[in-house]
Structure 1
Amino acid sequence: MSLKQYINKKRNTAYMPSYENLMDKINNYENVSFDIFDTLLKRNVKEPTDVFDIVQRYVGKEYPNFKVKRIDAERKARSKSLKEEVTLEDIYKEYPEENIEKLEFLQSIEMKVEEEILTLNPYMYDIYKECVKRNKKIYIISDMYLPKEFIAKVLEENNIKHYQKLYVSCEVDKTKKSGSLFKYYLDENDIDSRTAIHIGDSWKSDFYSPKNVGMNAIHIPLYIKNEVNIYGTDSIETNYLSSFVNNKYYENDDKYYKFGYQKFGPFLWGYVTWLYRKFQENKLDKVYFFSRDGYIMKKAFDAVYPKNDIDTYYLEVSRRSLRIPILWMDYDFDTVLDMISPSKMVSLKTIFDGVGLDIRNYSSLIKEYSFNVDTKFDRKNIKNNSQLKKMYSELEKDIVSKSKEEYENLKKYLSEKNIHGRFAIVDIGWSGGMQRYLEKTLNKLDIENDIYGYYIGVASYYKRNMRESNLNLNGYLFDFKNNPNSSDKRSSFVGLFETLFLEQAGSVENYSEQDGAMKANRLPYEYIIDGKEMPEVRKVHNIQDGAMEFIKDVMKNRFIFNEMNFSSDVLFSGIYQTGTSPNKDDLALFANFGFYDEGEDAKLANPKSLIFYIFNLKRFKSDFLASRWKIGFMKQLFKLNLPYERLYKLLLNFK
């Protein structure tokens, strides 16, 4: 960035005036004129010339150095012209290409890109609507080389319709910058300049020029102070995506909806587009999305690919519903430990839940072995606990009985769902346990199967599910099976991440025959207590609504998004920032979320006081290990800006 550009950016960076402040100034004027670009509409790029980088994505190698040539063509057109303003056609006459058809093609692509990247300015749209409501006479005035018809079309597409007239400099050969376009507008409409006010982002064209002809004017900043570039501006992809989510007009101010749109939506979209590519590569035409995390995944996939040659199904399964039915084949204590949560601390509740037994029915047995329902064991030495193993041996008869009962019902359910042959399964991850259980069941039933598992991530502990067969596992965000050097990017906030995918229904417990068909029996939804929904239900719903709205908007902008090469790391970076570097707003959103998994429930990040832990170090360790958002836990505890991700990795060494 040159010194001139730096100074100009600093000069054009400020806080946006408040709605009340703007309306107070506008209210005294009968005639209100708006600039278009970077005022009523914003481009989903940081600089206007970034448009040419996107055009280059389309035109490719056949038109090398398009951006440089396009900028130079405009410079030449302006230097040669005797008019105040040039047209897009004038510019392309100076482009170094003699073939008329190719020039027309380039011109059409540029306008197509402009159409897709233009969107409502969320700050100014409310002002415009209020002016309409107050019956102000509204005029739209722009210095622009694009055709008036094109601009009118874009305005209408963005619901800007209720204005008197549209003035475009290239159509009348007059500009705001010189002041001649403002004079023309005032004269043509017989407007007293003292009754008119103009709003725009350019100091020269939108502030000084209208004032020089007797109008009032309001300057709004081109760059909004403290606006966060969620995805950065290092490339045209991140530049575009950051602008796309920042420029969104939100009808309401729900922070969960906004999080869903800005952070969850891009990642969800990236995941389902990756899935589609993988299905195509492997010629898969039958896909089962696993409940519950697969619910929003399937919804997103079907929205992005509504008409394709891949049949998608929603399979109501859970770790429990697939795990319990196969335990009678192998219920060894070590086997069960490999099937349940890989957490450092293993609770007695989790063990009972893992074998499908209700811990409340075994209180006498638990007491006999000097345990209680809240007892937890360190995974490092749990296999050496003789008392626990003895107690477990007394459960074996019940485990086998429960398992065989559920096996018969699972067999019927899978048969009805036509689960056989070559197909894909989709879930959140992390080690392929459900794929292992399903494959084992199908093999036992002599049902031919060739399962391709697709997951958001394949964690380093996937090997515990590879002892009986080499599962076909594929991870989007990280994949330790196919790339041992992967990095597990969600381990410090796994609970927070998984919460985003929740279906608003209980986990599948087992299956039974109802009305002549096998149905999945759901456990009570964890977030409904005594018939009353907890706040998390609506919050997760709003997050997912925001994510689906993002995907809906992407479908309107496929022309650009299909040409962008977004990596999984880029699309994950918004969620990653919240998970690993949470600010006060992030903590307010998620710290007190309840999280339920394998018989355990806790808040995501709800530590006791620092003073308490100073005198209870063991409790700090147990609470920290139990937290499913460990960095959020530490930030809530210490309240300081510390390198929490490094601290988290350091603490893992002392597990």
Structure 2
Amino acid sequence: MKTDIINLLSSTRNYFFQNARTYDNIYIERVLKDIECYEVISFDIFDTILTRLVECPIDVFSIVEKYLIEKGHSCVGFAVARFESEKIARDIAYQQNIEEVTLDNIYEQLKITYPEYRDVIEEAKQTEIMIEINYCVPSLDNLFLINKIFEKNKKIILVSDMYLDEETIKKMLSKVGVSSFDKLYLSSNLLKTKNHGTIWQNVLDDYANQKILHIGDNYYSDVEVPKRNGIDTIWYNSLITERRLGGQLSTDIIPFSLIKKMILLTDKVISKDFWFVFGICCGSFFIYSFLQWLNDHVRKNKIEHVYFCSRDAQIIYNLWKEFNFDKLCGVTSSYLYISRFVLGYSQCYIECQKHNKLSEASLTFLSNHNIVEGQTNRDVLTRLKINISDIDVNNFVNKFGDLDSKFNFSLLDDFKFYLGHDLLPLLLPQFEEQYKNSYQYYDQEGIFSSKKIAIVDLGWSGTLQQALTLFRENHGIKEKISGFYYGLHNGLATGRIFYNGLMNAAFFSEFNDPNKSFLMKNSINILENLHVADHESVIGFTKSMEKYIPIFKEKKDNLKEQVVNLNRFYKGLHLVISKWVKNEDVFGINSDYIDVNTAKGALAQVICSPTSLEVKELGNILHAPGYDHEIYFPLIWSNEEPWDEKIYPMIHRGGWLCGQLLYWKYNGYYSDNVHLYQIVSNELSNYPTILKNFILG
């Protein structure tokens, strides 16, 4: 009987054979021309002749774990144990001057290091072999070439660095249509490797005085090293795999890994469109799963009307409407123009009317959340819309320094006191205007009705829900609002749960899983910028034609490229979701395999272990940390900016710690700067060891 994971693997494998992309004719013609002057043509095996169905080879360990769990074994964490056992086995071999390990060596080490898996060791090993044999697919380019080379009566040899045994490798090759070759050089047999260069001496001894051409995917071991040994090479890089550990080899990463690889294998054009692919294999996961999660929670909590908050929830709202979730849930829904700025100022007005002062939370909102490193005192006042002529300049200068000097963050508490006393009379008219116009708009939209209502937002601290609750209370409405979110911060949202009412998060909740808060912290700024709407931030409301409408902040020209990229992202995810809601497969993946857990697996892989391309593309996203969205920074601080004395602001400014640190890793910063390496190591002290080692390694 097939397990669920075997059905999934079979579906993606079948999709490959039904949709395999066309041959790379330029590559094939080049090789056929080049081989004329060689007697022996050598091929690497993995990612050259055949390739796995997963994006990262180590994801096979997650598949083994999933298979064992479905068979009834208690094996959560097996994939990490398999990964770590291979590392230990290789370290031991290295100390003994042995270049390679075998699968038997690895599983013997696993039995020693992880005795809790002792009872499933043999079944796990046989499962891994079974998956390797049955769920690899051929490189059509090189399969075609091998047949052509045979026609030319040239010798074909295979050279591979691999821990699998010869019998398994031959079965894998036979499965993809390669059964005839002159000789197989396998590191697990010879205990010599391409990477060290020692295996090539065996090849040269066997084919002395014959010209050899080697074709392979690894630039170092398949190109540089054989060249040093006098062997000509061709680099075949169409099937290069990735290495990720952001998802810590959880079984939740499997659907993402499969769909990512299937795009590479079956659609050459799409695979080069980064943002479109990102929408297909990541955006679709978290938005589709959230729609399904929201559907369940709206029905369970008997919500009557759902408000999707601007701007973050616009794309969710559009898809909710397009695919008729209102009818599925038996609710009504609408898009609510809202912003932290408008509600924050309105909340300040209510506090001043009730208590004649601002709360600590509001003072923090007006100061901490809106002052950016490098701003001058004048900038800070200008962003608060304070006219310099309206303040006692001498008093201000005595307290905080010259107007054009940089804001001194050590005086932040003093500034908050100054803001709540000296500046409050100047700010109060702004608060009042926002409150009165906002009230009219929200009354018009039904916020003050007696229906059981809920808001949908990305979340983080529950600020909007709190402000709307305060608005309603101020008008005598005691019924609570429900809030449905992507994630909630433990620190700020905790005290709001009792006051706000129901607060549920689909993906991240530090209340339930504080040990995984690193994923949420790395995701926030990326997710916020992936959910940007087709309008700017709301900065107020005005009456027009007997109706209150939003006033938007002026559009920024510097976001044009970002908008183009995000449109490609939206098209990719829409393509997938439109099929999944009709129960159609996408690249061999059915919607049955997509839920909040597999969505988190996809996010973890990309956000906590991004590739160099993902670091480049996502790192260029411009993010505005302030509530007024006036100042933008890229998520990753590049080497074009000075940073020697700003290391800590640099690490945290973009909010994407993993991206920033991997940018440095990919650009060789750690090797040149021991001090930086130590700082980074300290920053990762609370991260899972497997992820910390990946980022530092």
- Report the TM-score when normalising by structure 1: 0.59
Question: For residue 246 of structure 1, what is the aligned residue in structure 2?
Answer: 261
Q: Which amino acid in structure 1 is aligned with residue 593 of structure 2? A: M
> What is aligned with 2:147?
none
1:412 to 440, 445, 459: 440
Q: Which of 605, 615, 622 is the matching residue for 2:649?
A: 622
Residue equivalent to 1:20: 26
Q: Is the 8 A contact 1:493 1:630 kept in 2?
A: no
Contact 1:333 1:389 in 2 (8 A): no
For the pair 1:494 / 2:524, whether they are aligned, the reply is: yes
1:479 aligns with 2:509: yes
Q: In the alignment, does 2:658 pair up with 1:631?
A: yes
- 1:520 counterpart SS class: strand
1:353-392 aligned within 5 A? 358-359=384-385, 361-362=387-388, 365=391, 368=394, 369-370=396-397, 371=400, 372=403, 375-376=406-407, 378=409, 382-383=412-413, 385=414, 389-390=417-418, 392=420
Bigger shift: residues 321-330 or 631-640: 631-640
* AA at the equivalent of 1:479: S
Contact 2:580 2:591 in 1 (8 A): no
CA–CA separation in structure 2 for the residues paired with 1:595 and 1:449: 36
Query: Residue deviations 1:19-72, cap 9 Å, x none?
Result: 423478999xxxxxxxxxxx9xx999999xx9xx99x99xx99xxxxxxxxxxx
Residue in 2 aligned with 1:536? Answer: 562
Supply the distance in 2 between the matched residues of 1:312 and 1:632 (Cα, whole angstroms): 36
Q: Is the 8 A contact 2:309 2:335 kept in 1?
A: yes
Partner Cα distance (1:350, 1:333) in 2: 25
For residues 122 and 365 of structure 1, the distance between their equivalents in structure 2, rounded to whole angstroms, comes to 74
How do residues 256-335 of structure 1 correspond to structure 2 at under 5 angstroms? 256-303=275-322, 305-306=324-325, 307-308=327-328, 309-330=330-351, 331-332=357-358, 334-335=360-361
Q: CA deviation at 1:284?
A: 1.7
Q: Which of these residues, 449, 452, 466, is aligned with residue 422 of structure 1? A: 452
With over 3 angstroms needed to count, the CA separation of the structure-2 counterparts of 1:19 and 1:444, relative to structure 1, is farther
Q: d(CA) in 2 for partners of 1:394 and 1:508? A: 27
Distance between the aligned counterparts of 1:438 and 1:335, measured in 2?
Answer: 15
Cα distance change on mapping 1:590 and 1:239 into 2, 3 Å = closer
- Give the distance between the partners of 1:408 and 1:591, measured in 2 at CA: 40
Tell me the equivalent position of 2:488.
458
1: CA distance between counterparts of 2:571 and 2:367?
30
Cα deviation for residue 446 of structure 1 reads: 2.2
Paired residues of 1:336 and 1:355 also in contact (CA < 8 A): no
Q: Choose 360-369 or 299-308, whichever is displaced more.
A: 360-369
Please list the CA deviations of residues 234-271 of structure 1 after superposition, one character each: whole Å capped at 9, or x if unmatched.
78864444323432355543211111212222122222
In the TM superposition, what are the counterparts of 1:158-173 in structure 2 within 5 Å?
none
Cα deviation, residue 469, structure 1: 1.9
How far apart are the structure 1 equivalents of 2:683 and 2:380?
28
Q: Is the 2:542–2:548 contact (alpha carbons within 8 Å) kept by the matching residues of 1?
A: yes
Aligned to 2:636: 605
Higher helix share: 2
Contact between 1:454 and 1:475, CA under 8 Å: does it hold in 2?
Answer: yes
> In structure 2, do the counterparts of structure 1 residues 356 and 491 end up closer, same or farther at CA, with 3 Å as the change threshold?
farther
Say which SS state the counterpart of residue 429 (structure 1) adopts: strand
CA shift for structure 1 position 565: 6.6
CA spacing shift, 1:43–1:555, aligned 2, 3 Å:
farther
What are the Cα deviations for residues 372-409 of structure 1, in whole angstroms up to 9, with x where unaligned? 4774454x8732x2x55235522212322122222121
Match of 2:503, SS state, is strand
Output the CA distance in 1 between the equivalents of 2:379 and 2:346. 13
- C-alpha change, 1:292 and 1:355, in structure 2 (3 Å) is farther
SS at match of 2:427: helix
Structure 2: how far apart are the matches of 1:26 and 1:556?
A: 45
The residue identity in structure 1 corresponding to 2:532 is L
Q: 1:504 to 1:205 in 2, by over 3 A?
A: closer
Q: Deviations over 1:120-146 (max 9, x none)?
A: x99979x99xxxxxxxxxxxxxxxxxx
Of the structure 1 ranges 538-547 and 390-399, higher mean CA displacement relative to structure 2 is found in: 390-399
Local SS of the residue matching 2:499: coil
Distance in 1 between residues matched to 2:378 and 2:505, nearest whole Å: 30
C-alpha displacement at 1:580, in angstroms? 2.8
In structure 1, distance between residues paired with 2:280 and 2:175: 35
Using the TM superposition, give the Cα deviation of residue 602 of structure 1 relative to its aligned residue in structure 2, in angstroms: 1.6
Give 3-state SS (helix, strand or coil) of 1:247's partner: helix
In structure 2, give the amino acid aligned to 1:501.
H
Contact kept, 8 Å, 1:290 with 1:427, in 2: the verdict is yes
1:547 maps to which residue? Answer: 573
Three-state SS of the structure 2 residue aligned to 1:292 is coil
Moved more, 429-438 or 403-412: 403-412
Q: Aligned-pair distance for 1:435? A: 0.6
Q: Is the 1:453–1:472 Cα contact (8 Å) retained in structure 2? A: yes
Supply the distance in 2 between the matched residues of 1:494 and 1:487 (Cα, whole angstroms).
11
Q: Label 1:644 to 1:299 Cα distance change in 2 as closer, same or farther (>3 A).
A: farther
Q: Deviations over 1:170-209 (max 9, x none)?
A: xxxxxxxxxxxxxxxxxxxxxxxxxxxxxxx975785679
Deviations 1:394-450 (A, max 9, x none): 221232212222212111111211123311111011110111111111111224543
The residue type paired with residue 541 of structure 1 is N
The Cα of 1:324 is off from its aligned counterpart by 1.1
Q: Which residue in the other structure is 1:504 paired with?
A: 534
Residues in 2 aligned to 1:123 and 1:515: alpha-carbon distance in whole angstroms: 64
Amino acid at match of 2:658: I
Moved more, 499-508 or 558-567: 558-567
Q: Aligned ranges for residues 339-354 of structure 1 at < 5 Å?
A: 339=365
Structure 1 contact 230–242 (Cα < 8 Å) conserved: no
Q: Work out the number of aligned pairs and report it.
A: 471
Q: Percent identity?
A: 17
Matched residues in 2 for 1:415 and 1:239: separation?
47
| CA–CA distance in structure 1, aligned partners of residues 380 and 478 of structure 2 | 28
Stretches of structure 2 that go unaligned for 5 or more consecutive residues are 1-20, 34-48, 73-136, 145-171, 181-216, 218-235, 352-356, 671-676, 688-697
Matches within 5 A, 1:219-234: 224-226=239-241
Conservation of the 8 A alpha-carbon contact between 1:320 and 1:356? no
Assess if the C-alpha contact under 8 Å between 2:293 and 2:506 holds in 1: yes
Provide the C-alpha distance between the structure 2 equivalents of 1:462 and 1:317, rounded to a whole number of angstroms: 20
